[in-house]
Amino acid sequence: MAATHVVRSTPFPDLGDELLFPRLSETKLQWLAGQGERRTFAPGEVLYEHAVRDAPFYVIERGLVEFVDRRPGKDVYIAEADGRTFIGDIAAFTGEPTMSACVAVEPTEVIAFERAGLRDMVARWPEFGELVFRTLMARRVWHETEGYGVMRLIARRGSRRAFEVRDLLERNLLPVRWYDVDTDSESAELLDRLGIPSSETPVLVHATQVMRNPSAAQVARSLRLRADVDGQRFDLAVLGAGPAGLAAAVYGGSEGLRTFVAEAWAPGGQAGTSTRIENYLGFPIGISGTELTRKATLQARRFDAVLSSFHRAVELADGPEDLVRVDLDDGQHVLARSVVMATGARWRELQADGVDRFRNAGVYHAAMPTDAERCRDQDVIVVGGGNSAGQAAIHLASRARSVRVVVRGGALTSSMSQYLVDRIERSPRIEIMTGTDVSAVEGTPTVSSVTLRDRGDESLRRVPCTAVFVMIGADPCTEAAQGMLALDAAGYVLCGAGAARCDGHLRWPISGREPHLLETTRPGVFAAGDVRAEASKRVAGAVGDGALAVRFAHAVLAA
């Protein structure tokens, strides 16, 4: 077995940094000792490994530990911590894979909390909990900024497989860096060190694990994104983890309901892909979809909701004892006393020649944080006239040479918020092309141009382009509800008064009361967010739906 090369980064973070290493008083240490379990580690002993889930949360009473970024054939020592502070990053709370290993340097005495104990401890002492959350989040940011503990994805720019893996990781808030084989010299060094030819990319490196040409499903399985819940009973099952679903999870969990959340891909929904949401209450300078998703996901996990990603609900059915059975796409099922349908909507596909060949390999439905950098000094196109298209255009214009916004209609103002229209019109890198369609997407082997069609005179124009971001509306995701819930003509779930008016075998079955405002034709099953008929199609509205659905679920469960 080859020896592991050891490297020490310099300098280590300053132990006097009050944000990264807050110091605890003797009074705090004594209180914590009464809540947790005292343990002792000898020099060289591992407190927790890199890339493991559910690592304990440790408060160091005395001693010294170091943190190690494990890599194939190399250990990089990145930081240290001594007595009267606590260790770990936000993974200690969420159960995500750890960002580094922790090894005792000298005899070390700690107070240990398993995840359940940590949640209980911060619930008992909210002020200390705020300090813990702030520090753990700051450490995660430090890891990501410095590039320690992040996953490394080595791939060609146009790789569909790599895009899906990257999208899965980023959307599940797992830090990843993309190394472009075609333009990044460091990618060649990484491949050479691993002994892997570029023909076998994409390659995903997570700590010491190396995955060659993995699919998104293989990565999800390796990272245990899916929860093991087969046959379990819950007070509340939430289908979808967009803003509505996450709000339902937070309010359900905080009010004592055992809550399960099944998400087909990753938390955040369409809002999670927004680079900047500027009209959300309480954030005067805006908030990114990623940041909002991270905060909401952390809240839901704090209240012990079980979040399961890459786990799609395929069917709702009547279960035993008047429960609802939710069948999942991997053969598992759960039983629920109440259900919130928050499955949202999926992006419509662009109808143009060549699109199928470049889907997720030059033609995308979201502009994620890393996309702007990948499009640096390139010409890109955004198709659509809604808020998502506007946010994407502004984000991409921070790096791209040019951004053309292609809109079928005659103006942006009919479908886009005015603050976005104003910012787009002020940007010298953004060109608005109204009354225009994308006729074809061309390139070999990657996208190099698109052909645009003027809807007025039918003239065609070819323009250079390396990526197309398509945001032209969405259709509701209601497959799991077929046969149980009544839908309107467009496929959205009917609730409240709409559900009460339904006839036929899906009519409201209870004569003693009307459906609640968000209740569907099946008592105890609610719809929230974009999937329901007459939804506001706004993040704040979806969050309100999720919270209100839990209120109604409580009323039904208490009856």
The residue-averaged pLDDT of 383-396 equals 92
Please list, residue by residue across 180-191, b when 16 or more beta carbons sit within 10 angstroms of its beta carbon and e when fewer do. bbeeeeebeebb
Average pLDDT over all residues of the chain: 93
| Percent of the chain residues topping a pLDDT of 90 | 79
Taken in order of first residue, the domains within the chain and their CATH numbers are 5-146 (2.60.120.10), 151-222 (3.40.30.10), 233-346+475-558 (3.50.50.60), 355-472 (3.50.50.60)
Residues 6+ apart with CB under 8 A from 3: none
Residue 268 backbone zone (phi > 0: left; psi -120 to 50: alpha; other: beta): left
The residue-averaged pLDDT of 425-452 equals 95
From residue 505, alpha-carbon distances to 342, 484, 486, 491, 509 in Å are 23, 9, 9, 17, 9
Query: What tens digit of pLDDT does each residue of 391-436 get?
Result: 999 999 999 999 999 999 888 877 788 999 999 999 999 999 999 9
Say which amino acid occupies 191: L
Torsion sign, CA atoms 478, 483, 485, 489: positive
Residue 56 has pLDDT above 80, yes or no: yes
**Given this model, what pLDDT does residue 23 score?**
97
The pTM (predicted TM-score) of the whole model is 0.86
Q: Which residue has the tokens 């946010």?
A: 391
**8 Å CB contact between 541 and 242:** no
441 DSSP β-pair partners? 450
Residue 3 has pLDDT above 80, yes or no: no
**Given this model, what pLDDT does residue 1 score?**
46
